[in-house]
Amino acid sequence: MCLAVPGKILSITDEDDALLCAARVSFGGIVKEISLAGVPEAKLGDYVIVHAGFALARLDEQEAQRVFTTLRQMDETSR
C-alpha cells in the first residue's frame, strides 16, 4: 500500500491559504504539480515523499544515510 515517491521541489506557488500551497516537483526529470498542504515548511530544493499528488513529508538527508552508516559499522566490527 501507499506507493509514495521521492521528488525534488523545483518551484513553489505560495498562497495565503496554506491548504492551497503547491509546488512543481521533479521525479527523475518529469514534473508534476503537487500539494504542499502537509509540508508548509518545505523549501526550494527540498526532497519530499509524494503520494496521490500530496507531499507527505520532507526527506531528511542525514537520516537517509543511517542504514549505510549501520552497514559500514557492521563491516568494521566484522573485521
Where is 36: in which H helix or E strand? Answer: none
Residue listed under C-alpha cell 523545483 = 10
Strand (E) or helix (H) holding 72 = helix 66-77
In the complex, the smallest distance separating the C-beta of residue 19 from other proteins, rounded to whole angstroms, is 6
Q: Which three cell numbers stand for residue 46?
A: 527540498
Tell me how many residues contact other proteins (CB under 8 A). Answer: 46
Region 32-51 residues binding other proteins, contact defined as CB under 8 A: 32, 35, 37-40, 47, 49-51
Q: Which is nearer to other proteins, 3 or 79 (CB)?
A: 3
Where along the sequence are the contacts to other proteins (CB under 8 A)?
Answer: 1-8, 17-20, 24, 26-32, 35, 37-40, 47, 49-54, 56-57, 59-61, 63-64, 66-68, 70-71, 74-75
